[in-house]
Amino acid sequence: MQAVLSATPQWVETRHKEPKPLNLHIAAFGVSKAYRKGEHQVPVLRGVDIAVQRGEFLSIIGQSGSGKSTLLHVLGLLDSPDAGEIHLGSQRIDDLAVKTRDELRNRVFGFVFQFYHLLPELNVLENVLAPLMIRESIWTYWKNRRTHAERAKHFINKVGLGHRLTHRPSELSGGELQRAAIARALVGQPQILLADEPTGNLDERTGREILDLLAGLNSSEKLTILMVTHDKSIAAEAHRTVRLTDGRIEGLDIR
């Protein structure tokens, strides 16, 4: 796994074998994915090629059902492609052992979902600590618990929720829930943040605050961000925007 995490290639080969100078962070090459619905197979991704550079803020736009969330899940190893490859730097990662993929999901990727997925029985601090609890053994976590708590509080303060540490999800607004989810995604200090419609359940003002927060993290932390959305005005906040149509990436930039 260490070789995967430390890889920083100077170039990547396209399917035509032409060397392209890139500070490649994550890429999909010829990725296809289908789901079975009864007796029928429904294709969702149809040979997707996409490359994201280190520190880039990329938005992927498309209508509902276009495969945006599926692409994000495949890139973040939450699902496996039926065909094609996922690369982190110069290393292919979709074919690694299950345990290694689990570690990559916990250490390399941070996930922000439209519906937050916070645990209702835990308060904000406990929810944010959850990835670190999963990462370590009970003994190691207990030994490092004070350091972890300070780190979690740092990110909770960073997203503006320092006054909500002991509140449970049922006591938070939609914007606060999404801020807590972002803090949880950041606490493991990921290299890549995958955001699935992060403003989809928020009003315009709160959605703008979340976008500003993501843009600030990208700028200050040099965090690579992939965000999927169906809204062009939201997508325009990223460095670059591509469109997913009928399971394929259309063009290099639609802005």
Question: Would residue 75 count as lying in a domain?
Answer: yes
pTM of the complete model: 0.84
Number of domains in the chain: 1
Look up residue 29 and give its amino acid. F
The whole-chain average pLDDT of the chain stands at 87
Identify whether 126 is part of a domain. no
Q: Is there a domain that residue 254 lies in?
A: yes
pLDDT tens per residue, range 38-69: 888 889 999 999 999 999 999 999 888 889 99
- Taking only the tens place, the pLDDT of each residue in 61-116 is 988 888 999 999 999 999 999 999 999 999 999 999 999 999 999 999 999 988 88
- Show the domain range for 240: 1-104+233-255
* Of 244, 232, 224, nearest in space to 26 by CA: 224
Spell out a b/e string for 233-245, using b for 16 or more CB atoms within 10 Å of the CB, else e: ebbebbbbbbbbe
Q: Which two tokens stand for residue 5?
A: 């995490």
Burial 78-106, CB ≥16 within 10 A → b, else e: ebebeebebbbbbbebbebeeeebebbbb
CATH number reported for the structural domain that contains residue 77 in this entry: 3.40.50.300
Classify residue 204: in a domain, yes or no. no
